């Protein structure tokens, strides 16, 4: 049956009545609203779209200022749901202009006959949930109300312009324009003195074209932004060939990518590349003129690490200075207040070169803020600028503005969405809100939306929502609502994702910082579109995890819980390991497992540079033991940390925790000496423990020869290495030295029993399994020996031991014995700090530069070691984040960073 007939036969709309009855009401006839209408109709839902404008297009209807274009290549910024539509439409340019994009939406609306179900020039004035009827009632500005079972906001993220917050705007006697509400009729700027306030994407796109028309243009810039040349023209042949070569696969790759455009994941890290190589990569990206490319393809750490980002930002700053002739103007145009990409960079055509024109003036508002707007122009602290026209390119109340500020939304129990979101938006998946049944948002706060190719995100959101409505109808459910538990879990996951990227380090519309008084927090989902898609799929396949479903003739269904409890990068690592379908490590045998580990480690990112790495040997009890020494770049002598690697007393060597040792050496400014103690089964208990002790004594005695500070050393270790570190402290106390000033125990093995709950809770699925631990213990130690404190330090005497930091991971079989050791140390009067790393697994902390969310834990470890050594604290920008063991809201993170 054709769509039109399906809609007509199922429509309950009351023509001529005062209330239109539909299954679904959608607000907004933009990118999302049009696709929603198409899919809902096809699925047999009666649907009305309510649109304030008098035609389709949404954002692209309103943003028709000079130079308005998309900044994702148009071959990617298109609908992909219908291959015939894809072949029926040809884009004329790499980045289409606003008029062409608007024509595209008109073409789509006509092709699927969408306009007949869109009520144009209709603004919703209130939306109220009627619990008894399980329907939303919408009142509108043009009389007729709408009653709908489901209410879907397809209102866009950047559609509510924010007021300019400048005194005197109403006093200005000249012409005033807002880029976000540009008139439909021609705006004549020739021969006029024009002011543009704002240098975000809208300002940067329009300034060069306004400059060409105006007699004089004065740009008022508060914060400079990074802009990159678009090099517009025909779509690049290589991308077109890729798309046309296998359209379905290209689109599928986009859906599972991080940003919604199919580029591969970069693996090279900045410190592996020479200056020349980095410059070459930047030049190549600069020539490509592609925002997603330059944001993702230079080096792997560019978007997640402050140092890796600074290398790229510096190169871009050079480009600005190369283009802008006047050094003072160039300096004013050069951003220094945020990492590249943390604020939305812009794609431009001739933006920087425009400032070389004699008829263009830049006013740096950081030096002379605007005092007021007067009848004749703009007054700063220092000067008055008389102008004929003011263009406000001052941005939007992004992400929440169009949902919250436009009309009151009243949910279950009379709760208002504005009240519920007073401290920042709370959502589940960015699609739903607890307390607001049957309300959906497309690209709402908490979804990847604006941090991705919107086309890909919109299609995913729409498909997910419509598929859920179909499934509910089939099961007889009539109401769906997110639970508070699921929503709180999503907030935690959002906060975890926010620590992964650098968005938290900039004051932007992503964080609400552009609107005075708005709650601060990274609003879009920063975990990437592919991971987000898999999470949404998991929610559905997990019995609609985190939703309560009800209906008149069916039993309530509520599979409550949090969809992601792992840290986002841990989730990726574990999914990758699961996809590899590896046999249990113990099935390889000791040597096979060692070979596997060596291969696994060879594939990890190269460790960061330190001052010097020296391999040597030291005398052990039965012959030499290898060690690897990491020396900081700073002048010595440095305090020394003796480090013991992990691997269940069976695997690993002095190099196997190389990235961790490098990272800690850099963070602490201390020498790390990683000891190659002997392994089981060739050397069973107590060899590893005795080697650890002997090595520590030798290192302490030869501290000066190693370039270290004579005096007490510290010990540190991970897993079985932490067991050796803990044992070494006990032996040093009992055997008359060496002096140890502190112990850092990361996921330590402390006891030989397997009956603590974490052994069963985390028995499988987190790489270190219970059965692998059984195997390690069997190879290392006979059951009779296991209660010896040199194997199970928890069973030893703990009084008089050095101060300690014990770090445990939530999803680790060893979690509880680590906690038990910290508690026992404290009970014995040893100063101890215990940190539980939420969402982490046993290997998280040694997977430096892979599991990036451990950074705050590593900062705390470094701080503890510095404290043990009597050194002052040393924190750097970018180190802020969620402390293990506590949860910060996304709002706290941005506030701390800001
Ligand atoms: P924006 O990025 O928020 O930029 C607003 C500009 O106005 C900023 O430079 C801001 O300075 C300035 N401003 C705001 N209030 C001010 C005040 N009271 N006094 C002085 N300056 C003030 O907004 P936008 O340029 O409209 O862009 C928003 C987003 O829309 C973009 O990031 C992008 O995602 C999207 N967009 C995309 C395209 C495209 O190419 N496809 C085009 C346009 C927009 P501060 O930075 O100091 O706050």
The model's pLDDT over 252-265, given as tens digits with 9 standing for 90+, comes to: 999 999 999 999 98
Longest dimension (CA), the chain: 97
Instruction: Identify the helix (H) or strand (E) that includes residue 217.
Output: strand 216-221
> From the CA of 345, how far away is ligand 1's center (Å)?
10
| Atom 32 (ligand 1) nearest CA | 344
Distance of CA 157 to the CA centre of its chain: 18
C-beta of residue 815 within 8 angstroms of C-beta of residue 762:
yes
Report pLDDT for 181.
94
Report pLDDT for 300.
94
Q: Which two tokens stand for residue 182?
A: 């540009």
Instruction: Report the C-alpha gap between 515 and 605 in whole angstroms.
Output: 40
C-beta of residue 56 within 8 angstroms of C-beta of residue 118:
yes
The dihedral through the CA atoms of 665, 666, 670, 671 has a sign that is positive
C-beta of residue 571 within 8 angstroms of C-beta of residue 538:
no
Give the other-Cβ count within 10 Å of 782's Cβ: 11
> From the CA of 793, how far away is ligand 1's center (Å)?
59
Share of the chain residues as helix, strand and coil, in percent rounded to the nearest 5: 40, 20, 45
> From the CA of 766, how far away is ligand 1's center (Å)?
44
Q: Residues with beta carbon inside 6 Å of ligand 1?
A: 69-71, 158, 164-166, 179, 197-203, 205, 222-223, 344, 347, 365, 370, 393-396, 450, 509, 514
Instruction: Report the C-alpha gap between 726 and 789 in whole angstroms.
Output: 10
Give the other-Cβ count within 10 Å of 194's Cβ: 24
| Atom 14 (ligand 1) nearest CA | 394
Determine the average pLDDT of the residues in 551-564: 97
Strands 193-197 and 216-221: parallel
Tell me: the pLDDT tens digits for 405-422?
778 999 999 999 999 999
Report pLDDT for 258.
94
> From the CA of 207, how far away is ligand 1's center (Å)?
13
Test site for ligand 1: of 449, 514, 898, most ligand atoms within 8 A of the Cβ:
514
Q: Which two tokens stand for residue 593?
A: 């497992």
Confidence of residue 337 (pLDDT cuts 50, 70, 90): very high
Report pLDDT for 888.
34
Determine the average pLDDT of the residues in 587-594: 96
Tell me: the pLDDT tens digits for 187-240?
999 999 999 999 999 999 999 999 999 999 999 999 999 999 999 999 999 999
Ligand 1 atom at minimal distance to the Cα of residue 203: 25
For Cα atoms 273, 657, 276, give the angle at the middle one, nearest 5 degrees.
5
Ligand 1 atom at minimal distance to the Cα of residue 223: 47
Report pLDDT for 405.
75
Report pLDDT for 875.
66
Determine the average pLDDT of the residues in 72-86: 96
> From the CA of 53, how far away is ligand 1's center (Å)?
22
Tell me: the pLDDT tens digits for 273-324?
999 999 999 999 999 999 999 999 999 999 999 999 999 999 999 999 999 9
Report pLDDT for 874.
79
What's the mean per-residue pLDDT of the chain?
94
> From the CA of 395, how far away is ligand 1's center (Å)?
4
Test site for ligand 1: of 200, 343, 365, 367, most ligand atoms within 8 A of the Cβ:
200
| Atom 46 (ligand 1) nearest CA | 223
Strand partners, 227: 346
Q: Which two tokens stand for residue 775?
A: 């195997």
Ligand 1 atom at minimal distance to the Cα of residue 166: 18
Ligand 1 atom at minimal distance to the Cα of residue 514: 48
pLDDT tops 90 at residue 163: no
C-beta of residue 366 within 8 angstroms of C-beta of residue 222:
yes
31-42 vs 454-475: helix axis angle to the nearest 10? 30
Test site for ligand 1: of 78, 179, 394, 520, most ligand atoms within 8 A of the Cβ:
394
Test site for ligand 1: of 202, 225, 232, most ligand atoms within 8 A of the Cβ:
202
| Atom 23 (ligand 1) nearest CA | 395
- Classify 604 in phi/psi space as left (phi over 0), alpha (psi -120 to 50) or beta: beta
| Atom 15 (ligand 1) nearest CA | 394
3-state secondary structure of 457: helix
Instruction: Report the C-alpha gap between 431 and 442 in whole angstroms.
Output: 6
> From the CA of 47, how far away is ligand 1's center (Å)?
34
The long-range contacts involving 461-465, CB below 8 angstroms and separated by at least 24 positions, are 461/32, 461/430, 461/431, 462/32, 462/35, 462/36, 462/39, 463/39, 463/81, 464/431, 464/536, 464/540, 465/36, 465/152, 465/431, 465/440
Determine the average pLDDT of the residues in 781-801: 98
Confidence of residue 606 (pLDDT cuts 50, 70, 90): confident
Contacts (Cβ under 8 Å, ≥6 apart) of 8: none
Report pLDDT for 17.
55
The long-range contacts involving 81-84, CB below 8 angstroms and separated by at least 24 positions, are 81/35, 81/38, 81/39, 81/459, 81/463, 83/247, 83/248
> From the CA of 568, how far away is ligand 1's center (Å)?
30
> From the CA of 251, how far away is ligand 1's center (Å)?
30
Report pLDDT for 876.
60
Ligand 1 atom at minimal distance to the Cα of residue 165: 18
Concatenating the DSSP letter of every residue in 274-299 gives -HHHHHHHHHHHHHHT-HHHHHHSS-
Test site for ligand 1: of 201, 232, 443, most ligand atoms within 8 A of the Cβ:
201
Q: Which two tokens stand for residue 542?
A: 């997990």
């Amino acid at each position: 049956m054709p769509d039109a007939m399906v809609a007509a036969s199922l429509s309950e709309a009351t023509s001529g009545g005062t209330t239109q009855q539909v299954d679904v009401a959608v607000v907004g006839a933009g990118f999302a609203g049009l696709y929603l209408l198409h899919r809902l109709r096809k699925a047999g839902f009666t649907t009305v779209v309510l649109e304030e404008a008098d035609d389709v297009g949404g954002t692209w209807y309103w943003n028709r200022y000079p130079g308005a274009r998309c900044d994702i290549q148009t071959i990617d910024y298109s609908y992909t749901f219908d291959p015939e539509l894809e072949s029926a439409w040809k884009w004329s340019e790499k980045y289409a202009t606003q008029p062409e994009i608007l024509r595209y939406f008109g073409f789509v609306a006509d092709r699927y006959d969408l306009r007949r179900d869109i009520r144009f020039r209709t603004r919703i004035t209130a939306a109220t949930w009627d619990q008894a009827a399980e329907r939303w009632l919408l009142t509108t500005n043009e009389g007729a109300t709408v009653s709908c079972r489901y209410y879907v906001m397809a209102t866009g993220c950047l559609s509510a312009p924010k007021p300019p917050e400048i005194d005197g705007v109403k006093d200005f006697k000249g012409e005033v324009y807002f880029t976000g509400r540009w008139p439909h009729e021609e705006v004549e700027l020739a021969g006029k003195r024009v002011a543009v306030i704002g240098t975000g994407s809208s300002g940067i796109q329009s300034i060069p074209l306004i400059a060409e028309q105006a007699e004089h243009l004065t740009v008022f810039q508060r914060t400079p932004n990074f802009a990159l040349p678009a090099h517009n023209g025909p779509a690049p042949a290589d991308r077109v060939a890729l798309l046309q070569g296998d359209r379905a696969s290209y689109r599928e790759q986009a859906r599972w990518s991080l940003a919604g455009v199919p580029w591969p994941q970069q693996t090279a890290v900045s410190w592996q590349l020479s200056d020349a190589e980095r410059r070459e990569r930047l030049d190549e990206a600069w020539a490509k003129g592609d925002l997603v490319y330059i944001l993702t393809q230079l080096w792997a750490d560019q978007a997640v690490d402050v140092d890796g980002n600074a290398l790229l930002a510096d190169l871009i700053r050079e480009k600005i200075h190369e283009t802008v002739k006047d050094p003072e103007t160039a300096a004013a145009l050069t951003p220094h207040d945020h990492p590249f990409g943390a604020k939305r960079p812009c794609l431009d055509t001739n933006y920087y070169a425009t400032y070389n024109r004699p008829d263009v003036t830049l006013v740096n508002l950081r030096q002379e803020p605007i005092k007021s707007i007067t009848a004749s122009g703009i007054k700063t602290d220092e000067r008055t600028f008389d102008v004929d026209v003011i263009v406000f390119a001052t941005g939007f109340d992004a992400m929440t503005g169009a949902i919250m500020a436009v009309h009151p939304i009243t949910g279950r129990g009379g709760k208002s969405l504005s009240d519920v979101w007073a401290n920042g938006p709370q959502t589940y998946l960015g699609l739903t809100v607890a307390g607001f049944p049957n309300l959906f948002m497309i690209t709402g706060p908490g979804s990847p939306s604006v941090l991705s190719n919107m086309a890909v995100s919109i299609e995913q959101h729409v498909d997910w929502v419509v598929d859920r409505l179909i499934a509910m109808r089939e099961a007889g459910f009539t109401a769906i609502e997110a639970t508070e538990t699921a929503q709180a879990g999503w907030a935690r996951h959002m906060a975890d994702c926010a620590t992964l990227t650098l968005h938290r380090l900039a004051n932007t519309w992503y964080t609400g910082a552009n609107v005075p008084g708005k709650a601060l927090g990274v609003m879009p989902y920063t975990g990437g579109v592919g991971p987000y898609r898999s999470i949404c799929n998991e929610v559905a396949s997990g019995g609609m995890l985190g939703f309560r479903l009800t209906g008149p003739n069916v039993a309530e269904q509520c599979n409550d819980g949090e969809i992601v409890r792992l840290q986002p990068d841990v989730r990726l690592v574990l999914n990758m390991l699961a996809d590899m379908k590896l046999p249990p490590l113990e099935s390889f045998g000791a040597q096979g497992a060692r070979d596997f580990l060596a291969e696994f480690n060879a594939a990890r990112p190269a460790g960061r540079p330190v001052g010097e790495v020296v391999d040597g040997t030291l005398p052990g009890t039965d012959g030499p033991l290898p060690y690897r020494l990491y020396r900081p770049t700073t002048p010595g002598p440095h305090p020394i940390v003796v480090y013991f690697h992990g691997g269940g007393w069976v695997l690993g060597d002095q190099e196997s925790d190389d990235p961790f040792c490098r990272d800690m050496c850099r963070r602490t400014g201390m020498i790390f000496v990683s000891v190659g103690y002997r392994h089981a089964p060739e050397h069973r208990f107590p060899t590893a423990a005795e080697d650890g002790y002997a090595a520590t004594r030798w290192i302490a005695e030869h501290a000066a020869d190693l370039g270290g500070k004579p005096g007490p050393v510290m010990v540190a270790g991970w897993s079985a290495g932490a067991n050796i570190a803990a044992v070494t402290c006990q032996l040093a106390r009992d055997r008359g030295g060496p002096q140890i000033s502190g112990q850092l125990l990361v996921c330590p093995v402390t006891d030989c029993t397997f009956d603590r709950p974490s052994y069963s809770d985390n028995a499988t699925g987190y790489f270190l399994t219970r059965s692998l631990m059984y195997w390690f213990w069997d190879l290392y130690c006979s059951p009779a020996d296991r209660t010896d404190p040199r194997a199970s330090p928890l069973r030893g005497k703990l009084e008089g031991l050095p101060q300690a930091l014990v770090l445990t991971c939530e999803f680790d079989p060893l979690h509880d014995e680590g906690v038990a050791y910290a508690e026992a140390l404290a009970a014995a009067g040893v100063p101890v700090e215990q940190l539980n790393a939420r969402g982490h697994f046993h290997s998280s902390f040694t997977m430096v530069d892979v599991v990036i969310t451990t950074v705050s834990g590593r900062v705390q470890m470094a701080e503890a070691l510095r404290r043990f050594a009597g050194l002052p604290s040393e924190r750097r920008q970018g180190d802020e984040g969620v402390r293990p063991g506590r949860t910060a809201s996304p709002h706290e993170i941005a506030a701390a960073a800001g």
